[in-house]
Structure 1
Amino acid sequence: MVDVGILGATGAVGQRLIQLLEPHPEFDIATLTASPASAGKTYKEAAKWRADTPMPDSVTDIEVTATDPDAIGDDVTLLFSSLPSGVGAEVEPDLAEAGYVVSSNSSNARMADDVPLIIPEVNADHLGLIDVQRDDRGWDGALLKNPNCSTITMVPTLAALDQYGLESVRVSTLQAVSGAGYSGVTSMEIIDNAIPHIGGEEQKMESESRKLLGEFNGAEVVRHSMDVAASCNRIPTIDGHLENVWADTSDDVTPDEVSAAMSAYPSATLPSSPERLIHTFEEPDRPQPRLDRNRGDGMAVSAGGFRRTEGGVQYNCLAHNTIRGAAGASVLNGELLLEEGYL
C-alpha cells in the first residue's frame, strides 16, 4: 500500500477523495490537510461532512495538519490536491520541490508547459513531461493536473473523433451546481433559473482541450490545431455536467460511425477505470444527469443524440463532475503514476 495525503480535505472535492480512497486497493490515507483554522483538530471536528455516504471511521480521528511540507508525514509519497487554485499556486510547487508527487485537481498551472495535464485514457504518454519538469526545476517530486470538470466530460468523446480529422468544436454546457462547491451558488440564484456564465470556464475548456489532444514529442506538448469555442451555463442539477457539442471534421462521418467510434474507444486498466469509458445511446433524449451520471461508478462518460451537421456531427455528452470530473480524475492519475513507476 502507498501512503497518501489529501490537501484541502474538508472541502467538497476533498470529501469525494476520502470516499474514493478509503476503500482503495493500493492507496492508504495517512495525512489530511486543511486551512490553519482546522489544523490540530480531528477530521471529525474539522469537517462539516456533506457527502452522500457516512464519514468513514478510518478518518474521523486523523489529526488535520496545515498544508505545509514540514507538516506532512515522511512516509507519504503521493498527495491528492483539492486546494483552491490560489492556495495551490503557492504551496503545490513547494511540496513538489520537497519530494512529494502531487496529483492535483486545482486549476493553477494546468497550462504550464512542463506540467502534465492528464486523462489516462486519452494522453497517458504526456506523463513523460514529469521528466522534463524534474530536469528543468530540479524537483525530486512532481506536479501533474487533471483537467477542468467540463473539459474532462467532452475530451474523451473528441479523442474518439480525432481519427476523422477534428477541425473545430463548439460546445454549450449545462453544468451542475456542485461544480461551484457547496456554497458556490446560492439557492436564490439557481432555483427556477439558469446562469449563462461561469467565470473562467469557457477559457479552460478552449485551452485545456487542445493541450490534452496534443502530441508529446519528448520535450513538450504540441497542442492540437482544432479551434474550440465554449459557452458555459449553470443549471439547477446537483451533479452531472451535460454538454451539447458540435464537431466539424475534415472527413465525412455519419452519426452511426461517430457512435461506434465512441463506444469502441478503450478504457484504461487502472483500478478506478470504468469497464467501458464511453456509453452511447441511440435515444435522442439521452444522456440525462439524473439517469446517467453514475454509470461506471461515476467514472464513465455518456454520449447520445447523434446527428449529422453540415461540417460534421452534433451530439450530447455527460459525466459526473465531482467524480470523473474532479476527485476520481485525480485518483485515476495517481494510479497511472504508480503504474508507470513515478512513485
Structure 2
Amino acid sequence: MAVRVGVLGATGAVGQRLIQLLDPHPKFELAALTASDSSAGKTYRQAAKWRVDSPIPADVAEMTVQATEPDAIPNDIDLLFSSLPSSVGAAVEPGFCEAGYVVSSNSSNGRMDDDVPLVIPEINAEHLDLLEVQRDERGWDGALIKNPNCSTITFVPTLAALTEFGLEKVHVSTLQAVSGAGYDGVSSMEIIDNAIPYIGSEEDKLETESRKLLGEFDGASLTHNDVAVSASCNRIPTIDGHLENVWVETEAELDAAAAAEAMEAFPSLDLHSSPDPLIHVFDEPDRPQPRMDRTVGGGMAIAAGGMQETPFGLQYNCLAHNTIRGAAGASVLNGELLAENGYL
C-alpha cells in the first residue's frame, strides 16, 4: 500500500523539486499540497510558476492547493515534506506535529535542537531513534526530522568515510550555486562576472551541523563529534551543484590512495533514493565539476576527486546537486527511512 504524502510550501523552488521526485515515486502517493494564503484554493498550475527542468506532472497540475495549516490537510496523510522558509517552518511545523503528522523537513529551523534528529540516512540512520525522546519530551503524536543544509550534505559523507582515521581538523571552502539562494536570492547584476565570498549563516551551518551528524546517540541523548571544523562559503555563477574544497587532518596517517579507497567502499543503503555507490570517486585531477558531475547517481550521489597530500593534511574536492541531494532528495530519502523504520 502506498504511503500518502503531502508537501508544505509546494510552490517554491524546493517544493517543485519535491513534486518532481515524489510524483513517480513507487512507494509514495502525493495527495496534498500547501502554499501561502494567496495560493490556497487555486489549482497547482495556477499557483506555481513552474521552473523545474521537466514538465509539471499533469495530475499534480490540477490538484487544489490548500492553506498551510493542519486543519486543511486530510487526516489520512501519513507523511508531510516541508520546504517552507525557515521563519514559516518555525511557526507552523510544531503545530503539524502536535496534530499527529510526521514531518520530514528541509527548513533550517530546529536542526540543532537537542531532540530533533538531523539525518543523512547513509551516515547516521541510528539518530532517527531520537524521535522517541522527542515524542516523550514534547508530547507529540507526530514527529519532526530534519535534513541538513545543502552545503553540509556535500562534504559530511566524505568525512564519514574517513572517520576510521580519526578526524581532528577539517577546513572547507565552498563554491555554491545560485539556486541555493532560491530563484530570487541573487540578482544577475550581483553574480554574473563575479563571486561573492560570503553567504549569511552558511559557515555556522557547516561547522555545527557536521559535528551533530557525526555524533553518537546513546539512546537518550546525542553527543556531538569533537572534530574542529572551519568553513568559508562563496557564491559563484553556476546554476546547480555545490563544489567544495576540503582539507582534513587525521590522527592516523592518511594518504590519497587510502582516502579514495575508503570513500569508494563507504556503504549505501537499500532505500529507493539512496545511490550505489554513495560516493563516486574520480581519478581525474580536474573532477568533479558542477556542469559535468552534479547529476551523478541521479543527482543523489556525492562526487569526490582531486585527492592529494599537503602540509595541511589530505586535500580533496567534493560535489553534490544542491537542490536534489542537498534539499528535496534528502527530505524524500529521510521519508523513506521513516517508513522503513515504522515511524509512519
2:41 aligns with 40
Paired AA for residue 89 in structure 1: A
Letter in 2 for 1:207: T
The Cα RMSD (Å) is: 0.6
- What amino acid sits opposite 2:143 in the alignment? A
Q: Secondary structure of 1:102's partner?
A: strand
Asked if the contact 1:173/1:233 (under 8 Å) is kept, the reply is yes
Question: Could you tell me whether the CA contact under 8 Å between 1:249 and 1:311 is conserved in 2?
Answer: no
Deviation for aligned residue 1:311: 4.9
Q: Which residue of 1 aligns with 2:18?
A: 17
SS in 2 for 1:121: helix
- Residues of 2 paired with 1:336 and 1:310: CA distance? 40
1:50-84 residue CA offsets vs partner (Å, 9 max, x unmatched): 11000001101111011100000111010000000
Displacement after TM superposition at 1:325 (Å):
0.1
Within 5 Å, give how 1:203-242 maps onto structure 2.
203-242=204-243
| Structure 2 equivalent of residue 89 of structure 1 | 90
Shift of 1:282: 1.2
| Identity among equivalent pairs (%) | 71
Shift of 1:195: 0.4
Q: Distance in 2 between matches of 1:58 and 1:272?
A: 22
Partner of 1:76: 77
Shift of 1:312: 2.8
C-alpha offsets along residues 213-245 of structure 1, whole Å, 9 cap, x if unaligned?
A: 000011111000100010000000000000000
Q: Separation in 1 of the partners of 2:164 and 2:116?
A: 26
| Alignment correspondent of 2:188 | 187
Structure 1 Cα separation of the partners of residues 233 and 313 of structure 2: 22
Q: CA shift at 1:24, angstroms?
A: 0.3
Matched with 1:168 is 169
CA distance in 1, matches of 2:236, 2:327: 18
Q: How does 1:254-273 map to 2 (within 5 A)?
A: 254-273=255-274
Aligned-partner SS, 2:342:
coil
Q: Deviations over 1:175-211 (max 9, x none)?
A: 0000000110011110000000001000000000000
Residue in structure 2 matched with residue 133 of structure 1 by the alignment: 134
Q: Does the alignment pair 1:147 with 2:161?
A: no
Q: Is the 8 A contact 1:252 1:312 kept in 2?
A: no
Runs of 4+ deviating beyond 2 Å: 309-312
- 1:82-121 alignment runs, 5 A limit: 82-121=83-122
The residue that corresponds to 2:197 in the other structure is: 196
The within-5 A match list for 1:2-13 is 2-13=3-14
Q: TM-score under structure 1 normalisation?
A: 0.99
* Shift, 1:310, TM fit: 3.0
- Cα distance between partner residues in 1 of 2:194 and 2:222: 40
Distance in 2 (CA, whole Å) between partners of 1:81 and 1:9 is 8
Amino acid at match of 2:62: D
Structure-2 separation of matches of 1:130 and 1:139: 10
